[in-house]
């Protein structure tokens, strides 16, 4: 026994335990790897079944065991994203990218998540990174490029066109590519190219409402009103409750002085669904159409509904003030328009603010408030050039305040600019000039 112990000390054997066969460690490692792969397949089966909660539990456990497995981390991000855990998904996708920077799928997934969350700079970085992975599948790179084109469509249309072209070179052109190309051409003002592309899109998908709407917009811009009307009226038969078709046809009718035809279309659409009835855009459109046909009480009611939901919307206040003027509710109009004019930053364009100030001047003049009218005109004149209407308001306001010299100057300026286009006002201006000159 002592001899055996001595030999064992030299050879490193174990006493009382049989030596394991050669290769057993490798077999154990293979068994463990097979077991892990089986767990991964099991989790991916849950993903296929859309059992995202179950998949998340299994993949989180796998991620603990395999923290450097990019595929596990990507699958975990996919499951968490669809289960509503955006924070977890972002972390998992970022982990997959850190482990394997050459893997494109987590870059695309993270880029799309960033884009949806408004993190546009990060989204652009991730998607561009995926698009530049030349070893990745063309389909995945094309997806990244199309997402980039969609992001850049409004802010960087030239870049978007290049990105779309690169995607088409990778994977061939899809019907969606044709439509996006048409949208980009339209945004760039290339109406002829846009029209041709929209027609190509419709040749492939005749019922594509986005293509119909896009083509109609381009036709209207090219003053091809009849073609646009025929196109939209035909589409309306197949899509009677599609807001894109209905609203665009209504806008076209309004532009053609056919507002009476547009009103039933919007009324029917708003009556078809509660969501449409509550839609601010459709409600404002109907209010405007009511104005055009002289249904001012109906327009006022709709504008007041809109303002109840958006009390600080300056443009809506201006719209309401305009309707109140038409209803000869001048005192109410002055109150509403005064509020609108105080909200200068609420107007998208300074000229719109100037127009609202002119509306206030008119309401105030009609309400017997010449000083308010002159103050509003002074503000209007800081952003808008003189007009015959504004000069007439200025003249009658000075006249009402017995500011004779200023009234004479304004009346003369009005007559010089009016040049026979304002018959009644010009007649009154000439008579007041005679009277005022006599008073001097």
- Residue that terminates a domain, selected from 210, 236, 262: 236
List phi, psi (to 5°) of 50: 65, 25
CB 352 within 8 A of CB 315: yes
User: Domain total for the chain?
Assistant: 2
Token digits of residue 348? 């998208």
Residue 348 located in a structural domain = no
Residue 327 located in a structural domain = no
Domain enclosing residue 212, as ranges: 173-236
**Cα four-point dihedral sign 393, 398, 400, 401:** positive
Residue 353 located in a structural domain = no
Quick check: 301 pLDDT over 80?
Answer: yes
pTM of the model: 0.74
**Cα four-point dihedral sign 142, 148, 153, 158:** negative
Residue 183 located in a structural domain = yes
Residue 36 located in a structural domain = no
The CATH number linked to 215 is 1.25.40.10
Determine the Cα–Cα distance for residues 193 and 196; give it in Å rounded to an integer: 5
Query: Which pLDDT tens digit goes with each residue over 250-289?
Result: 999 999 999 999 999 999 999 999 999 999 999 999 999 9
- The residue among 70, 127, 59 whose CA lies nearest residue 94 is 70
- Residue that terminates a domain, selected from 208, 236, 264: 236
Residue 178 located in a structural domain = yes
Angle, vertex CA 279, rays to CA 235 and CA 308, nearest 5:
155
Residue 145 located in a structural domain = no
Specify which of 69-78, 203-212, 324-333 reaches the highest per-range mean pLDDT. 324-333
- The residue among 110, 115, 108, 82 whose CA lies nearest residue 94 is 110
- Residue that terminates a domain, selected from 201, 217, 236: 236
Residue 411 located in a structural domain = yes
pLDDT of residue 406: 96
């Amino acid at each position: 026994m002592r001899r055996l112990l001595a030999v064992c000390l030299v050879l490193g054997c174990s006493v009382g335990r049989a030596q394991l066969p050669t290769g057993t460690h490798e077999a154990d490692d293979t068994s463990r790897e097979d077991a892990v792969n089986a767990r991964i397949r099991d989790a991916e089966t849950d993903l296929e079944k859309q059992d995202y909660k179950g998949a998340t539990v299994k993949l989180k456990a796998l991620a603990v065991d395999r923290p450097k497995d990019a595929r596990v981390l990507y699958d975990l991000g996919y499951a968490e994203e669809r289960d509503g855990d955006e924070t977890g998904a972002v972390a998992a996708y970022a982990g997959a990218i850190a482990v394997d920077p050459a893997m494109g799928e987590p870059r695309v997934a993270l880029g799309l998540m960033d884009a949806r969350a408004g993190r546009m700079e990060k989204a652009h970085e991730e998607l561009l990174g995926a698009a530049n992975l030349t070893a990745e599948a063309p389909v995945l790179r094309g997806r990244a490029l199309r997402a980039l084109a969609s992001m850049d469509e409004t802010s960087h249309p030239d870049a978007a066109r290049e990105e779309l072209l690169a995607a088409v070179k990778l994977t061939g052109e899809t019907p969606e590519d044709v439509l996006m190309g048409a949208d980009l051409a339209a945004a760039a003002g290339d109406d002829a190219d846009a029209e041709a592309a929209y027609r190509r899109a419709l040749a492939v998908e005749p019922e594509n409402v986005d293509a119909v709407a896009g083509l109609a917009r381009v036709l209207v811009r090219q003053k091809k009103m009849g073609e646009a009307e025929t196109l939209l009226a035909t589409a309306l038969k197949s899509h009677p409750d599609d807001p894109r078709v209905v609203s665009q046809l209504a806008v076209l009718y309004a532009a053609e002085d056919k507002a009476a035809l547009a009103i039933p279309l919007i009324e029917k659409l708003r009556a078809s669904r509660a969501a449409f009835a509550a839609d601010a855009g459709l409600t404002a459109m109907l209010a405007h159409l009511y104005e055009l046909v002289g249904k001012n009480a109906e327009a006022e009611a709709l504008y007041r509904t809109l303002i109840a939901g958006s009390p600080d919307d300056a443009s809506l206040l201006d719209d309401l003030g305009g309707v109140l003027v038409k209803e000869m509710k001048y005192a109410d109009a002055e109150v509403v328009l005064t509020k609108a004019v105080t909200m200068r930053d609420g107007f998208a364009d300074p000229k719109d603010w100037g127009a609202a100030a002119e509306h206030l001047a008119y309401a105030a003049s009609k309400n017997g408030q010449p000083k308010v009218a002159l103050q509003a005109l002074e503000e209007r004149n800081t952003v808008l050039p003189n007009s015959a209407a504004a000069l007439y308001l200025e003249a009658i306001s000075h006249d009402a305040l017995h500011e004779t010299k200023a009234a004479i100057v304004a009346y003369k300026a009005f007559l010089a600019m009016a040049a026979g286009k304002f018959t009644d006002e010009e007649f009154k201006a000439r008579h007041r000039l005679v009277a005022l000159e006599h008073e001097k």
